[in-house]
Amino acid sequence: QQQVKQSPQSLIVQKGGISIINCAYENTAFDYFPWYQQFPGKGPALLIAIRPDVSEKKEGRFTISFNKSAKQFSLHIMDSQPGDSATYFCAASKEGGSEKLVFGKGTKLTVNP
Amino acid sequence: NAGVMQNPRHLVRRRGQEARLRCSPMKGHSHVYWYRQLPEEGLKFMVYLQKENIIDESGMPKERFSAEFPKEGPSILRIQQVVRGDSAAYFCASSTSMGETQYFGPGTRLLVL
C-alpha cells in the first residue's frame, strides 16, 4: 500500500518558469511533511517542511502549499534554475517527524537553460 | 559540524557473502534511521534505532538483515548471505532526541555480483 503518492514522475521546465510537484497522502495521523532534494550519487537533503496547522510555507524560491481536507500538499519552485535539476521527494511522518518517513516515489526535475 | 557519515561509500559483494554498512550520526544526535533506495525508486524505511535499542524494525526483512546502534561507536546494518536483490543504495539518517528533521548521509551503494 503506497501511503504517499507523488506526481508527476518527471518534469521539464524552462529556466525562470515555475515547477510544481504534487503529493497526496492517506494516513490522517501524519503530522509532518518534508520535501527532500537529491542529486545523483548524493543523499537526500531537506529542502523545506510543513506541519498541518499552516496552509503555506515559503522559504526563498520554494513554497509548500498544504490542503488538509484534501490530504494533499505541493512544492512550488519559483524562477526555476538549471541548478535546481534534481530528484525531489515528498515524505510524511507521524509524531512530528520523530517516526519513520514515508516517501513518495520521486519527481525528476530538469530545468533547461 | 560534520554531517552524517556513512562508510563504505561503495561496497561490492558476491552472492552469499556478508555486507556491513556503518553510519555515524551527526554530533548530538541519538536517533538513527536506515532506508533503502532501489534504482528509480523512492526511499523505503527499514529500521529506527536509539542507543542500544531498536525502536521500530517494521521495514526490515525478517531474515538475513539486522541492525544495531551500540552505546559506543557507529550504527551497523548487517546483511548476511547477500543476494542480487539486495543491490541498492542504503541511506542512514539521524535526528536529535526531539525528533523532527532527519539528516541523511551520502549513502552506501551495495552491488551484489
Alpha carbon B69 to chain centroid distance? 10
CB contact under 8 A, B103 and A46: yes
Residue of B nearest to A5 (CA): B42
Instruction: State how far the Cα of A59 lies from the Cα of A57, in Å rounded to an integer.
Output: 7
CB contact under 8 A, B95 and A105: no
How many residues are there in chain B? Answer: 113
Hey, which residues does B53 pair with through a beta bridge? Answer: B50
pLDDT > 80? residue A1:
no
**In tens digits, what is the pLDDT along chain B, a chain of 113 residues?**
579 999 999 999 999 999 999 999 999 898 999 999 987 778 999 999 999 999 999 999 989 999 999 999 999 999 999 999 999 999 999 998 766 789 999 999 999 99
pLDDT at B28: 87
Work out the average pLDDT over A35-54: 93
pLDDT at B99: 64
Work out the average pLDDT over A46-73: 94
Q: What is the DSSP letter of B86?
A: G
CB contact under 8 A, A44 and B43: yes
Instruction: State how far the Cα of A40 lies from the Cα of A26, in Å rounded to an integer.
Output: 29
pLDDT at B39: 79
